[in-house]
Each structure stands twice: as structure tokens, then as C-alpha cells.
């Protein structure tokens, strides 16, 4: 936990220095024809609005949905690349902005239930929950508490107070975890210990990957904190996107 606490404090400091239900349908710019995006809101049990972007391929299976969660103090734009890759593969996916996270408190359990609220809003029947960093932790919470879950994909998972470990011990669905190199930004790969407690877990390592490589796109802030060497980042990001699509496809076949 010391590494995670140190990262959280540095991350918050850098952010400080850096100073309607239903949605509207639009063509998704830069996405394969036949994919549309619906922007809308669901409501958290705490009353705040959960903004989402729903990538809807014409060829997707009705009722199937991937719910994709961003990392701590990030936003859904940081996973737009993965959402597009999934949508271009014919998979319906929604990215969500958490509304209950605070710099001093992640509210990861609440975030997990907020992911379920978005799935309910979109009337999903067969679900894969997925997330990056602390978003992977929220995905585990959602999966553990949603009987519609087929499986979970975590991207460089970061656990907090062993919440993820508690969730996977009671989860009877498969979990696929993609991990980069151990560093302070992923709490020295503490997510590996979390998934070791899962009943059904598959670990895939991305050699040389930094925490930022799992965002698509990332930004200068993540690079400044978590990516000392950018060499090969684009190739690693492409590999992560390809592996993520393959992983989600396998989970949807459960």
C-alpha cells in the first residue's frame, strides 16, 4: 500500500497544478462505417450523473455490452481508442465517467455499482466489465454483484485495501488480466496478487509496457508520472488493443 499511497499523492498534486437521461445519436468520426455513438447519462444511487459514450455497431449482438471504466481521476476519453477498437470488431461498448471519485477518496466500490447502473440504463443482458488501473477494480466490484456478467478484463489492475481480492474470491466468472512492468504507478503490480486469489484467472504480460500504455490515448500527465521512456509505446499500445479485443471476444463466448 505505501507505493499506491505515494502514487495517489503525486497524481493529485499534479492534477492540482495542471490547474437528461437518454442520449443523442451521432456518427462516430474516424470509426468504421456502421458504428454510431450515443452520448447520454445514467444516475448514480448518490444522485450524481454518470456521463457515458455508447459505441453501437450495427452488427453487434442485441443485449451484449462491454462496460469500460477509466482509471483514478481520469475520464472516459482515455479509453476511447479501446472502445473504438471493440466497436470496429462488432462489439457494443460503453465508456463511463465516474461521478463519485474524489482526489482524497476513490470510492471504488461505489464506482462498481455505478457501472451496473449504466448497464441497467442500456438494458444489457450479457455483460463483460472491463477497466484500466482502479477502473479494473471497479469492474471487479460490478462483476461480483451483477449476475449478468460473463467475465472481466482488467488492464494493469491496481487494487486498494484488498477490495479486489475480496471481490474475486466470490466471483465465479473468468477474469483476464493484462499487466505491464511493475512500477509505482501500478502499485508494483499489486493486481497480480489480487488475481492470484481468483477462481478463474488468466494473466497476460506485456513486456516493457508502462502504466500509460494501457490508456488509448494517454496524455502528458500520465507520461510525466508513469512513462520515463516512450520508446516503443505505440507498438505496445497496439498490442494491448489487439489483445484486449481478443480477450473480450473470448469472454463473450462464455
Count of domains forming the chain: 1
Cell numbers representing residue 215 in the block:
490508456
Structural domain harbouring 12: 2-252
Answer for the pair 94, 54: CB distance below 8 angstroms, yes or no.
yes
Q: What is the CATH number of the domain that holds 56?
A: 3.40.50.1820
pLDDT value at residue 254: 79
- How confident is the prediction along the chain (254 residues), in pLDDT tens digits per residue? 444 444 444 444 444 333 333 344 333 445 567 899 999 999 999 999 999 999 999 989 999 999 999 999 999 999 999 999 999 999 999 999 999 989 888 899 999 999 999 999 999 999 999 999 999 999 999 999 999 999 999 999 999 999 999 999 999 999 999 999 999 999 999 999 999 999 999 999 999 999 999 999 999 989 998 987 788 899 999 999 999 999 999 999 97
pLDDT value at residue 6: 47
Which pTM does this prediction carry? 0.88
Amino acid at each position: 500500500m505505501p507505493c499506491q499511497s505515494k502514487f495517489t499523492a503525486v497524481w493529485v498534486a499534479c492534477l492540482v497544478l495542471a490547474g437528461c437521461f437518454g442520449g443523442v445519436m451521432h456518427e462516430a468520426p474516424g470509426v468504421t462505417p456502421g458504428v454510431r455513438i450515443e452520448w447520454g447519462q445514467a444516475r448514480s444511487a448518490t444522485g450524481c450523473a454518470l456521463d457515458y459514450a455508447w459505441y453501437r455497431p450495427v452488427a453487434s449482438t442485441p443485449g451484449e455490452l462491454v462496460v469500460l471504466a477509466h482509471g483514478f481521476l481520469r475520464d472516459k476519453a482515455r479509453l476511447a481508442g479501446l472502445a473504438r477498437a471493440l466497436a470496429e470488431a462488432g462489439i457494443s461498448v460503453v465508456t463511463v465517467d465516474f461521478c463519485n471519485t474524489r482526489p482524497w477518496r476513490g470510492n471504488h466500490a461505489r464506482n462498481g455499482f455505478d457501472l451496473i447502473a449504466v448497464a441497467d440504463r442500456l438494458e444489457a443482458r450479457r455483460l463483460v466489465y472491463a477497466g484500466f488501473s482502479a477502473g479494473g477494480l471497479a469492474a471487479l466490484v460490478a462483476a461480483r454483484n451483477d449476475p449478468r456478467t460473463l467475465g472481466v478484463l482488467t488492464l494493469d489492475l491496481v487494487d486498494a485495501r484488498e477490495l479486489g481480492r475480496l471481490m474475486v474470491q466470490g466471483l465465479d466468472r473468468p477474469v483476464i488480466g493484462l499487466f505491464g512492468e511493475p512500477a509505482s504507478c501500478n502499485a508494483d503490480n499489486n493486481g497480480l496478487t489480487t488475481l492470484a486469489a481468483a477462481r478463474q484467472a488468466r494473466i497476460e504480460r506485456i513486456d516493457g509496457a508502462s502504466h500509460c500504455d494501457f490508456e488509448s490515448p494517454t496524455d502528458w500527465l500520465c507520461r510525466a508520472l508513469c512513462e520515463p521512456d516512450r520508446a516503443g509505446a505505440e507498438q505496445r499500445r497496439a498490442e494491448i488493443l489487439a489483445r484486449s479485443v481478443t480477450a473480450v471476444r473470448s469472454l463473450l463466448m462464455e
